Amino acid sequence: MEFCAGLCDLDWEVRARRLSPEFWPWLYFRNPAGDAVAIIAFHGGRPVGRFERIPVRVTVDGKIETADLLEGLTLAPEFRKWSHLRRMLAMAFRDEPVEKPLFSFGFATAAATRLHSSLGQPVLGRVSVFSAALDGVRMWRGRGVPASVSALAGSLSGALIKWKAQPPGGQIEVRETGDFTSDLDELTSALTGPTAIGLRKDPAYLNWRYVQRPGASYRRLIARKDQQPAGMLVWCPEEVSGDGYILELAARNGDPVTLDALLDTAREQMRSARVGLVTASFPRAAAAAQALLRAGFVSWATRWKNMSLIVTPREHGRRTELSMTDWNYSLGDWLYH
């Protein structure tokens, strides 16, 4: 893929992310669920736009199916026209992979949501996003606020949205893991309820997503109770802003003691890493969201508060009526961080 460097330049120009050229072969060809459908727009040999359909395994009503994750809709600023964006979306759905997906879904900004709606793709609603401050001064300094103002703003932010430590409880052991081993398969299979829809996060997916991704820095925590896997948490820092992101947080049967223990360990790691603002996304009714609320997270202090979930049933698939209450999701599902 001789144009990988050009895709890195495009992503830096639009999203200010520093990606390795190896990121694109990882995203397109190393996914255990299959190869991606990638639409790349060129101008004079330079990549100026991209959009992908990434195959993922999902659990739907207790059955394992294949779906497409819509990801990465990007155009260079000088080519950013409504007609160009619509054309890229239309082209992405023109070619079907060998294993046809049951449906496509993705997480879209307010502007992209309007674009999907114009093509008749259902918008289920806004996703829930939660934030808390660990270091209010670092949070504002990472956003370019002068030091004199950051000190005052940081004190106010810390008082309003401070991540609070939870008292320890139960015999939960939390340790960092290098990779996700086969003994987690039963745990991850149990994390999506029998009537819910969500990504199947088995060890193959988790290792691809959080171990094999080039150039990323993830902290992977596993909780054990009586020596058996009881829960997991994955988080990552953002170098430029100093923010932190909780990408995965789950426990067997939604056990609050396990969730609190995972969050407490992650909190100490983030404090050591001088993280300012921490962000996560889970359905509001999910046990992970309730654990965040207990810890002092709030659902408004984020620039992603207008992200929406898009779901497109395919002609060859069941046209199941879907609603936001059917879905399990996390910030890691967006494949952005």
What pLDDT shows up at residue 190? 64
Q: What CATH number is attached to the domain comprising 97?
A: 3.40.630.30
**Residue 186: what pLDDT?**
75
For residue 300, the model assigns a pLDDT of: 65
Does residue 180 form part of some domain?
yes
Beta-bridge mates of residue 51: 39
As a whole number of angstroms, the distance between CA 289 and CA 140 comes to 25
- Claim to verify: residue 139 and residue 286 sit in the same structural domain: yes
What is the residue-averaged pLDDT of the chain? Answer: 82
Overall number of domains in the chain = 2
- Whether 176 is in a domain gets the answer yes
Retrieve residue 154's tokens.
């940081």
Q: Does 33 share its domain with 46? A: yes
Please tell me whether residues 284 and 135 are part of one structural domain. Answer: yes
My answer on whether 38 and 50 are in the same domain is yes
- Contact between 67 and 104 (Cβ < 8 Å): yes
Query: Is residue 251 domain-resident?
Result: yes
pLDDT at 264 > cutoff 50: yes
Q: Tell me if 270 sits within 8 A of 280, measured CB to CB.
A: no
Same domain, 86 and 220: no
pLDDT band, very low/low/confident/very high, at 281 (cuts 50, 70, 90): very high
pLDDT in tens, 136-155: 556 556 555 555 444 444 44
Do 324 and 257 belong together in one domain? no
Pairing of strands 123-126, 244-251: unpaired
The residue written with tokens 């991606």 in the block is 36
Could you tell me where the DSSP H helices lie in 58-135?
Answer: 82-92, 110-118
Q: Is residue 300 one of the residues assigned to a domain?
A: no
Burial category of 249 from C-beta neighbours within 10 Å (exposed 0-12, middle 13-18, buried 19 and up)? buried
Tell whether 31 is covered by a domain. Answer: yes
Residue 71: enclosing H or E segment and its boundaries?
strand 63-75
- pLDDT tier for residue 317 given thresholds of 50, 70 and 90: very low
Torsion-angle region of residue 137: left (phi > 0), alpha (psi -120 to 50) or beta?
alpha
Residue 299 placed within a domain: no
pLDDT over 90, % of the chain: 42
Between 118 and 44, the higher pLDDT residue: 44
Judge whether residue 259 has pLDDT over 90.
Answer: yes
Three-class DSSP category at 199: strand
6-20, 43-57, 135-149, 161-175, range with the lowest pLDDT: 135-149
Q: Report the distance separating Cα 123 and Cα 323, nearest Å.
A: 9
The Cβ of residue 272 has, within 10 Å, a number of other Cβ atoms equal to 8
Host domain of residue 92: 4-127+307-334
Residue 134 and residue 219 in one domain:
yes
Tokens of 73: 């809709």
Q: Which value, to the nearest 10 degrees, does the dihedral of the CA atoms of residues 236, 286, 212, 18 take?
A: -40
Q: Of 71-75, 107-111, 248-252, which gets the smallest average pLDDT?
A: 107-111
Residues 232 and 154 in one domain: yes
Q: What separation in angstroms does the CA of 65 have from each of 36, 50, 74, 197, 199? A: 16, 26, 28, 10, 10
Q: For residue 138, give the nearest of 166, 158, 163, 164 by alpha carbon.
A: 158
Pair 138, 164 in one domain: yes
Q: Give the tens place of pLDDT for each residue, 213-228.
A: 998 899 999 999 888 8
User: What pLDDT is stored for residue 57 in this prediction?
Assistant: 92
The verdict on residue 187 lying in a domain is: yes
- The pLDDT value recorded for residue 246 is 97
73 inside domain:
yes
Instruction: Supply 9's token pair.
Output: 């330049």
Q: pLDDT by residue (tens digit) across 4-25? A: 999 999 999 998 888 999 999 9
The pTM (predicted TM-score) of the whole model is: 0.87
φ and ψ at residue 335, rounded to 5 degrees: 60, 20
- The contacts of residue 128 (CB under 8 Å, 6+ apart) are 281, 282, 283, 284, 289, 299
Q: Are residues 210 and 277 in the same domain?
A: yes
Residue 10's pLDDT is 93
What lies within 8 Å, CB to CB, of 263 at 6+ separation is 166, 233, 249, 291, 292, 295
Residues 49 and 92 placed together within one structural domain of the fold: yes
Residues 100, 116, 192: CA angle, nearest 5 degrees: 55
| Average pLDDT of the segment spanning 227-246 | 89
Task: Mark whether 45 and 148 lie in a shared domain.
Answer: no
Burial of 212 (0-12, 13-18, 19+ CB in 10 A): middle
pLDDT at position 196 is 77
Sequence-separated (6 or more) residues with CB below 8 Å from residue 250:
191, 231, 232, 233, 287, 288, 330
